[in-house]
Structure formats: structure tokens, C-alpha cells
Chains A and B, each alone.
Chain A
Amino acid sequence: MTDRRPPAAAAAAGPRRPGAIGLFLRKYGENRSAVAGAMLVAGLVALAVAAPLLTGHGPRQLGAVPLLPPGAEHPMGTDDLGRDIWAQFLYGGRTSLLVGLVAAAISTAIGVFLGAVSGYFGGLVDDAIQRVTEMLSIVPRYFLAMVTVAILGPTILNVIVVIGVLSWPPATKLARAEFVTLKSRSFVDAARMSGAGPWTIIFSEILPNALPPIVVQTILAVSAAVLMEATLSFLGLGDPNLISWGLMLNKAQTFLTIAPWMAIFPGLGISLFILGLNLMGDGLNQALNPRLRREAKA
């Protein structure tokens, strides 16, 4: 961490010099929209995790009057089958969260590994990986995801794997750039001279130093995965056995003009979640990158 910070930024920390993490937290805290983003994300995650505590209704429980507008008993109204939208909203958030986190973990793992190998070893391996990355970035990802899920079957596992496997190019490009810069630093030379093998250098020496931008990239990957899951579910390619915000919107289409609450709330959920993640990503980027920080102030 300390290694990445130019002297100017370190000096700006003031006389008491808090640790790198303290400095970072302070910089992040100064950015109001970044704090708002983190609060949005934390709030939505809390709602999803605490779902059973926050509603007496099951997400699929029938029985209420269909198409009821929001009221005291049903804060977000009911759908065409008389199910509580608030309950669906809470449980739907779980699906978004699950798909977002796992798919982003998959794409980041693949992306960082390929980027690390590409950047560290260079040469032919680098060329090959770069070509494949370039190709995958050009392929219309959404169309490919739709075709693949339609053919393999819309299960939650297929949805997660397809999103993860199609979304690694940004992480690869980022990790490669970091590794190309970091591999010529003196601490890497030192490790090499003390007899460390290439994999040890990649994972224990360089990777920890490349982590901050990778974390930012992962947050943006979660947001992209949430959007893709919502899109697939909206098109009828989500797991039909799991309530999700996209699936709710798919159903809401038919009743858009007579029961707009069916569409408004799940869409708000997706939008706020994605907005929160992006604000966090921007904020982290500025807090981690001294150059951007100065530009934001300019």
C-alpha cells in the first residue's frame, strides 16, 4: 500500500500521519456521494439479509386481494396473484445479491489470473491472452448470454456461471496493466534474488500491491452482474423458481398501466443497488488515486 503512494500524497496526510487505511478512510469519507453510495448498498444488503424479519408474508404466499395498491397491510401493494410485493422485493434482493457477488467473484478470479499471467510473463502467452480478451470484449455479450442460458436452461447456476465467464475482460485488462508496472519494481527484484519462484512473486509479492484497483474493479463487476441478471430475468431467462427483481419486472409489464407499483419498486431496487455500487466505485477510485483526487478538487 505505502509503496504505491507518491510522497506528495503521504505528506498531505498531515503531521500525525495516520496509517494508509486511516488516510484512505478519511479520503473516502470526504466524498459525500461515495458515502451515500456505501450507505445505499449497505441498506439494500441489510434488507435482503434480514428479509424474514421484515415481513410476515412469504414471497410466493397467495391470498391477499390481487393488484392492491400500496397500503398499510401491503406497503408496496400486491401483484396479479395477490402476493405481497414488499416480501418479493426483499427476497428478490437476495437473488440479485447472490448472483452479483458470485458472478463477480468468478469473473474477477478468471480476469485477475489471466491478467497477472499476461502481464508478468509477457511474450507469446501475453499475446494469446490479449487476443482472446479482445475477442470476448467485442462479442455482443448480452446476446451470447441470452443464447447460452436459453440453450442450457435457465437455472440460477447457469445464470451465474454464464455471467461470470463472459465478464472477465475488464479485470484482465486492469490486472495486466498493474502487473506490467509493478513487475519492474525493486521489491520484485528483491524477491526474485532471494529465490522466489514466479508464482510466489505473482501471488505473494505483486498481487497484494495490485489489490486496491482490483477491489474497485470487483465492485463495478458486481454492479454489471446485477444488471445482467436483472436483464436475463426480465427476458424470462432467470431461474423461474427464484424471485428476483428482473422476474418481478417481467411480470409487471402486463400490468404496467393498471398496477404501476408492480414495476416501480423492483426497478427502484435494481437502480439504487447499481447506483450505490457505482458511486462506491468512483469514490474508491478517487480515494486510492492521488491524481484523480487532485482533479476532483480542481
Chain B
Amino acid sequence: MTSRMTEIWVGIFVAAGMAALFMLAMKVSNLSTYNSGEGFDVIAHFEDASGLKVRSPVTMAGVRIGRVKDIQFDDQTFEAVVTMRLEKRHNTLPQDTSASIYTAGLLGEKYVGLEPGAGSDHCEELALEAELEGEEFNPADCKNDAGNKVLRDGSRIVLTQSSMVLEKLIGQFVSRFLSDSEVEDKK
């Protein structure tokens, strides 16, 4: 075989290897959904964060907008402190957004679901108010107003709901059931 053919074959081999690596990176791994960590951190305190892991998704309306970055224990309040990194472009979330820990499916993994508070309607409220009173609505001061009330780096989500622990729920159900039957027995 001539050296030219050898080189062509080696070229094909190296190209195929690179293509395989590229396919593994793009098609198999999460690179396509991975953004290079650009974003801002918000904190939320949960009474119970069991099952939540670092890198668990943070979603709003079912769409992933960030990931859990860190989970710590606060030994003053005995709560779990969850740091979430949200994508940079989602910087319009209102200050009174609430965070809850949900389970995806019956046996699925835990994720943090964010729900916008009333603050997101702030502009619309102002616009509606202005319309009702027959005044000219100026979107500029609305923006200024809302600008103070969005989540930004380091802000804390106050309204939280802890993850549901199946044992606790069953325990509550059983104890209520028992106390109900006791009441019936007394009758």
C-alpha cells in the first residue's frame, strides 16, 4: 500500500474517532443543555430538603431555568439552605416568587419548582389601574418600580414549601385515621 493510501486511512480513522467523541459530547451528554454556569445565585430556606441533590433541576412552569448549586445546613434555624443558580437571562423573576420541592413522578427525583408571585403582574396592575382612572400609563416608571423587586444575585426566596416525605404523610394519615376511629368508638 502506498504511503498516500496509508495517510488517507489514518485521516479517516482520526476523523471517525473525533466524530465519535463529538457525538458522545453533543448527543449523549448534557453539553447541549449545559450552560457554562453563567447566572446568578438565589437562596431559599427549607424545613426539609430530603431527596434534593446538588445539580437537581430548578424549574418554573415545568421549564428548567437553573440548577441547585449547593445544599447546606443552617445550625441556627435548623433548616436546609439551598443555593440555586438560575440562568442569567431569567432576571425578571419577582421578589415574592415561592419555591417548593416536588417529586417528578412517583419514584422520580426531586426538583425545585418556582412559582411567580403577584409581583410579576405589577406592571399589568399599574397599567390596569391607570386605564381605570383614565390616566396615561407610562411603562418607564413601571420598569423602575419593578426593577427593585426582582430576584437578583444573593436574594433570598422567603416563601418555601418543603419536600414531601412519604413516611411522614403516611404517619399523619394513620394517626388521623386512628383518632377518627377512637372518636367513633366513644360514640
Is B a genuine binding partner of A? no
